[in-house]
Structure 1
C-alpha cells in the first residue's frame, strides 16, 4: 500500500508587504527550497506536528510513505505564483504516480498572487488525479473555509486549540478515518457551513470564552461518535470573500447528523459573536499600567506586529515606548533586521554600537511608513539562530531565525533576528542565553501563541497596541473583497450562512 503524505502551510495576510517566495518555505533546510522525500520524513518523525502523526500512523500500518513536500512558512503577504506552482506540482506529481491514500497537512488560509483559495485549488487538482482515492486533510484553526476544500476531501479536521498545541492530534483525527476507510470500517460523510463574522484574533484563544466553550462542544461531539468536529475561527487579515468563521463535521455515514451538528456549532458561535470583539487600550495607558506592576515576569504583548499573523516584526512603536518609559530588566523578542545583525556581527561581541534599528518595512495598507529607532547598546551575543522547540507547541521542530544578535542597552536585552520568528516557545530565549524567568518584563511580538511557552511563567499580561499589519483595529484595514454584510464590520445583520 502506498500513501502520499505532504505539508504545505501558509497563512496569508493580504495587508502584509512581507514577500512570500519559495525560499520562505525552506524552514529546516539549508537550501532555499522545502524539504522533500526521506529528508522530510526524518525531519518530522517524532515531532508534535500533523506530518509527524501521518508518519507514525503509516509506519504502524506498515505502508509505504511518499513525502513529496514538507513546506511551512511564517505568515506574510500573498504567496508568489511560482512558489505555489513548485509546491503543488510536487504533490500532484507524487499522486499521479499512483497511491492508495493521500494525507495532507495544509493551512486553509493560503492566498496566492492569483488565487483566493490556494488549498482548494490544490485539492481539486489532486481529486482529478485520484478520483476514488481517500483524502484526509488537517487544517489550521484559522482556516478561511471554501467549498473546494470540503468538496475534494473525504475527511477534514482542524485544530481545536489556540495556541495550537494539538497539531499532532489533529493529524491523527484527519488520518485515522482514512485508514478506517481503507479497511472498510468507515464511510465518512461531511457537512460544512459558515457565518458572516470576523472574530478578532485577540479574542480567539481557547483559554477564553467563547472559543473555549465552542471547542468543548466540538470535542463532546467527537466523544459521542463524530469522526471529526471542527470550528474554524477564520483569519480576518485576509481580504477575501469567505474570510471568517466556519465549521465542518465528519460522521460515519450519517449526513443528516453531520449537518445538524455543524449547525449546532455555528449557532453557538453566532450567538456569542459579541464576545469575539476585542477592545483596544491605548499604548500609553498600557505602559503606564505596566510601570506600576511589581510581580514579574510581566508579558508586554506587541500584538500588532507578530510573525504568526503576517507582521514584519520590525515595527518599533512598542519597543520605543518601553525605552522611553525607562522600564528596566526587559527582554524583547524580537526585532527582524538583518542589516542590524550584520552590523553587530562586524563590530563583534562586547562592542558598543549605535544602530538605526528596525523600521525598514513600509505598511501602505494601513498608511504607515517604517520608522527606524536609534538604539545604543553592547553586542552581548551572536548566534546562527537555530533552535528546536521544547513544546508544547510544535514540539521538536527546528526553527531558523537566521543570523541573530542580542543587543543589551543596559535596561533592555533586544533579540535581533534576520527572519521572522514567533516567540511561542521558551527555547527562543534559552537558546540565546536569556532566562525569561529572571526578567521583570518580556516584550513579545505575539498575539496568542506566546501562551504555549510563556503562560506558565507569566505573572501578569499587558496588551500593547503598537503599529503593524496585524492590527486589531479593523477601521485601519480597507476591506474590499470580503463578503458584506459581516460582523462586526456591519453590526445589524441576520445570521445567514453558506453551507454544503
Structure 2
C-alpha cells in the first residue's frame, strides 16, 4: 500500500483583520511548523511503544506502523493558529508543495490531514479546492481520504472529491490522533475492497455557538455518540460536524453525512442524524455572563462554601485565540482586579510587557499598560502597577489530553501580580487549555479561587476535573459567542444565526 500523506490545517475567522501568512505556516506555535518529505515522518511518527502525538497525521502514521503492507510517502504538512484569511501566496505555496510531492510519489492512495474551515483570500472553499486539485492530479479511481476537524464547514465539493471524509467526534479535541488512525483503517479497506461507498448528506439549517458545541455536554455528547452507533450498525462512517460559526462563506455551518454500502443505507443514516440534531436544537443553549457578572458569581460560589478547595473557572470565551481572538482583551482582567480576587488569568498576549518584565527582572515593580491593543470595541489597555513574580522562555511541554506530545512555543513569558490577581503574559497566542500552562510559572489550581482562561471549550479537558464550577463569560473579544452578532454577507438566508429563538 503506497500511501501519500500530507496536510494543510487552518481554521479561518473571516471576520478577523489579521491575515494568515506563509511565515505563520512555517513557524511552530501551538502546532509544529512546516514539515516536508522525510521530516514529516521523523517529526510525527511515534517512538516505539509510545502513543502518537494528538495530531491526525501522527495517528495515521502510528496506525500504519502496525501494518507491514503500508509504505508511507510523505509530501508536506503545515498548520497555523486560527486567524483571518490565508493569503493567496501562502495557499498557493502550500498547495504547490503538496502537488509537487504527489507528482514524485506516484502513490496508490492519498491521505490528507485537513481542517475543513480554511478560507483563502481568493478561494472561500479552500479545503475543497485542495481536494479538487489533488483529485485532478491522481484521477478518479485512486482512493482519497481526508480527516476533518469537528468544526469543519463542509462543502459539497469536499464531499464529492474525497472517497471518504472522517471528522473528529470530541470537543475538546482529544481524538485527533484517533481520527487519523480511523482514516488509515478505512483507507486500507478501500484499497483492499475497491469501489467508493455511497454518500448522503444533510445541511443543518442553523448555526451552533461554539461554547455549546462541547461534547462533554448535551446535546453534542449524545449526537456524536450517535455517529459511532450508526457506524457500528452499518459498518460505514457517519459524521456530524458542528461548523465554525465565524466564517462568512456560503457553506458555513453544521453538516451531517453518512456513507453506506448502497444509497439507501447512506440516506437513512444521514436522515437519522438530521432528525436527531433538529430535535435537540433547543438544548444548544446555556447561561452566559458578562465580565462583572462572571466574577460576582464565581466569588459567590467560593464564599458560599460550594467549591471546597477547587477553583471556579471562567472562560473568557470571546477572546479565544483558538478561534481567531487576539488574546489580549482586558475586560475580565479589570473585573478581577476590581474585586481583588485571588485569581489567575491567562494567557494574555503582550510581547512588550513580557519584554519589559524580562528586562526588569524578578521582583521589579513596573507601571504597565497591559493588552488592549487589538482595537476590539469596548476594550483598551489596562494601566496598572505590576510586580514581576516569575520569568520563563516560553517553551512548555504539554501534559494534557488535547496537546498530548506537543511542545508549545509561547515566546518570552512572565507571571505578573496586580494585587491578588496574577496574570500570565506571553508573546505568542495559545489557549490556556493545559494545566502545564499554569504550572510553568509556578501556579497550581488548588491555590486559586478563580482561574480565568482565554479559551472557549478546549480547556475543559484539563480543567473540568479540578474545577468546582465552570462559567462562560462574554467579555469583549473578536469572536462573538452569538453568531447573530456578526456582519454576515454570504451566509444563505435559510440558515438561522441561532439554533432557536
* Common topology (TM > 0.5): yes
Distance 1:415 1:445, change over 3 A: same
Distance 1:54 1:290, change over 3 A: same
The reply on whether 1:26 has 2:26 as its aligned counterpart is yes
SS at match of 1:414: strand
The reply on whether 1:172 has 2:178 as its aligned counterpart is no
Question: Which among 274, 280, 284 is matched to residue 282 of structure 2?
Answer: 274
* C-alpha contact 1:9 1:73 (8 A) present in aligned 2: yes
* C-alpha contact 1:361 1:369 (8 A) present in aligned 2: no
Structure 1 unaligned residues grouped into runs of 5+: 493-500
Q: Deviations over 1:15-36 (max 9, x none)?
A: 1123311222235489996122
Q: Deviations over 1:272-322 (max 9, x none)?
A: 222224553333222211122222311011111001111000111111111
For residue 6 of structure 1, what is the aligned residue in structure 2? 6
For residue 498 of structure 1, what is the aligned residue in structure 2? none
Matches of 1:362 and 1:354 in 2, distance apart?
A: 21
For residue 496 of structure 1, what is the aligned residue in structure 2? none
Q: Deviations over 1:261-282 (max 9, x none)?
A: 0111012112222222455333
Question: Which among 368, 385, 399 is matched to residue 355 of structure 1?
Answer: 368
For residue 399 of structure 1, what is the aligned residue in structure 2? 408
Pairwise CA distance, 1:173: 2.0
Q: 5 Å matches for 1:243-254?
A: 243-251=252-260, 253-254=261-262
Question: Which among 335, 359, 376 is matched to residue 321 of structure 1?
Answer: 335
Distance 1:82 1:335, change over 3 A: same
Matches of 2:214 and 2:37 in 1, distance apart?
A: 35
* C-alpha contact 1:22 1:32 (8 A) present in aligned 2: no
For residue 91 of structure 1, what is the aligned residue in structure 2? 98
Q: 5 Å matches for 1:137-152?
A: 137-152=146-161
SS at match of 1:304: helix
For residue 78 of structure 1, what is the aligned residue in structure 2? 85
Matches of 1:291 and 1:32 in 2, distance apart?
A: 39
Q: Deviations over 1:87-143 (max 9, x none)?
A: 111111111221111111100000111111110000000000001221111100111
For residue 432 of structure 2, what is the aligned residue in structure 1? 423
Matches of 1:230 and 1:30 in 2, distance apart?
A: 26
Q: 5 Å matches for 1:23-422?
A: 23-28=23-28, 34-45=34-45, 46-62=52-68, 63-97=70-104, 98-131=106-139, 132-184=141-193, 187-251=196-260, 253-294=261-302, 295=307, 296-328=310-342, 330-363=343-376, 368=377, 370-422=379-431
Matches of 1:292 and 1:218 in 2, distance apart?
A: 40
SS at match of 2:374: coil
For residue 497 of structure 1, what is the aligned residue in structure 2? none
* C-alpha contact 1:226 1:249 (8 A) present in aligned 2: no
Distance 1:490 1:54, change over 3 A: closer
Q: CA RMSD in A?
A: 2.1
TM, length-normalised to structure 1: 0.92
TM, length-normalised to structure 2: 0.92
SS at match of 1:224: helix
Structure 2 unaligned residues grouped into runs of 5+: 46-51
